[in-house]
Amino acid sequence: MTTKTDVTNNELPPYRKREALNRWIISLPALSIIMLAAIGPILIMLLYSFMVKGDYGGVKLWEFSFDGWINVFFQRDIFDETLGLADAHLTIFWRSLKLSILTTLAALAFGLPTAYFIATRPKHTREIWVFLITIPFWANLLIRTFAIQEVIRNEGIINNTLLAIGIIDSPIQMLYTDGAILFGMVYVYLPLMVLPLYASIEKLDFRLVEAGYDLYATRLKVLRRIILPMIKPGMIAGCILVFIPSLGAYVTPRLLGGGKNMMLGNLIESQFGAGRNWPLGSAISITLMLLVMFALIFYVRNATRSGANHG
């Protein structure tokens, strides 16, 4: 990338030769819209997280307190004002983290063979397979989650089939469980795993695989020692792309987890809705954002390291 820009900027077309000021002016609309309707509000939310909560939602403006942040992990006993761990919140944090990690692993388990399968098809059919993976992705997230809901409900196709075959006597309750959220998230985010994996498997030099076999390596050994190390950047990219939206998921747990099995996204919503605790909701939001940032930083560090390794 750097080499490309180096070559072109010697002969910039005249309209770009103007000073940096012009570049700021033409990027101003994009920058200011995002500042106005994304970054600015998040900064204000950061401020809100340090204010005293209003009695009917909102905050008492300019009355500061750390209660919002303390309440993320602790709760005050109503009788003796001592602090104890907020078990309900910790459960939700733990569930979010656990389900996101499991979603990522399951997506990898299904996504890797799928991406490998696509990448090893003949060239002219490959595009069609990629297209087949992306189509469900372009369908509305809500619609896909609803589709899952329909399949796993008590009268849905899975239970009906199992009942008909006689494996079970009464329907299994699948909807409104953690398992349903997991299944739903794997389903909706799978293309995000397959696409980067496909991109790196497609570039794989199969002569190296052949060399491995020639040297009497077993299939497992070739997979573990040759293929997996070479597609590691794609694996990391896919995992990050699945992990991040899973952690912040809102629609999927709401429709498939019901009211009991909340994730962080639903906890945040409940603080702005029925909970009427905006500072707490803001603090949880900022925490979620930081968790995502950590994941991204981890990714960038890994990507640059493996990029350096491969030249």
Partner 1 sequence: MGSRHFNVRTLPGFGFIALLTFFLLYLPICMLVFYAFNSGDSIVQWEGFSLRWFEVALKNDAVQEAAGRSILIAVIAATVATICATMAALATTRVKPYPGLVFKYAVINQPLMVPEIVTAVALLIVFSKIKVWTGYSGLTYLILAHTAFCIPFAYLPIRARLESMDSGLEVAAGDLYATPWKTFRLITLPLLRPGIIAGFMLAFVISLDDVVITEFVKSGGQETLPTYMLGQLRRSITPEVNAIATVFLAFSVLLVTAFFFSSRKKT
Interaction residues for partner 1, span 213-242 (CB under 8 A): 213, 219, 223
CB nearer partner 1, residue 76 or residue 105? 105
Report whether 246 contacts 140 (CB < 8 A): no
Q: Is 59 helix (H, G, I), strand (E, B) or coil?
A: strand
Tokens of 39: 């970054």
Q: Which of residues 251-270 bind partner 1 (CB under 8 A)?
A: 251, 255, 264-265, 268-269
Residue from the set 93, 116, 176, 189 that interacts with partner 1 by CB under 8 A: 116
Q: Which of residues 44-83 bind partner 1 (CB under 8 A)?
A: 44-45, 48
The Cα 283–Cα 296 span in angstroms is 20
Residue from the set 64, 66, 91, 127 that interacts with partner 1 by CB under 8 A: 127
Give CA 61 to chain center in angstroms: 34
Instruction: Quote the DSSP letter at residue 167.
Output: S
How many chain residues bind partner 1 (CB under 8 A)?
97
Q: Mark the segment that binds partner 1 (CB under 8 A) among 68-76, 84-92, 107-115, 173-181.
A: 107-115
CB of 309 to partner 1, least distance (A): 24
- Contact status: 36 vs partner 1 (CB under 8 A): yes
Report whether 246 contacts 104 (CB < 8 A): yes
CB of 15 to partner 1, least distance (A): 3
Report whether 279 contacts 51 (CB < 8 A): yes
The Cα 15–Cα 17 span in angstroms is 6
CB of 12 to partner 1, least distance (A): 7
Q: Is 13 helix (H, G, I), strand (E, B) or coil?
A: coil
Report whether 51 contacts 68 (CB < 8 A): yes
Q: Mark the segment that binds partner 1 (CB under 8 A) among 64-72, 153-161, 169-177, 230-238.
A: 153-161
- Contact status: 285 vs partner 1 (CB under 8 A): yes
- Contact status: 8 vs partner 1 (CB under 8 A): yes
Q: Mark the segment that binds partner 1 (CB under 8 A) among 62-70, 97-105, 166-174, 285-293.
A: 285-293
CB nearer partner 1, residue 76 or residue 147? 147
The Cα 294–Cα 60 span in angstroms is 31
Q: Is 76 helix (H, G, I), strand (E, B) or coil?
A: strand
Radius of gyration, alpha carbons of the chain: 25
Q: Which of residues 10-29 bind partner 1 (CB under 8 A)?
A: 11-16, 20, 22-24, 26-27, 29
Residue from the set 52, 70, 141, 230 that interacts with partner 1 by CB under 8 A: 141
- Contact status: 99 vs partner 1 (CB under 8 A): no
Report whether 180 contacts 202 (CB < 8 A): no
Q: Which of these, 118, 98, 269, lies nearest to 190 by C-alpha position?
A: 118
Residue from the set 83, 85, 88, 139 that interacts with partner 1 by CB under 8 A: 139
CB nearer partner 1, residue 24 or residue 66? 24
CB nearer partner 1, residue 23 or residue 305? 23
- Contact status: 168 vs partner 1 (CB under 8 A): no
User: By rule CB under 8 A, what string of x and - marks binding of each residue 171-190 to partner 1?
Assistant: ----------------x--x
- Contact status: 42 vs partner 1 (CB under 8 A): yes
Cβ-proximal residues to 162 (8 Å cutoff; 6+ apart), any chain: 168, 172
The Cα 284–Cα 271 span in angstroms is 9
Tokens of 272: 């702005």
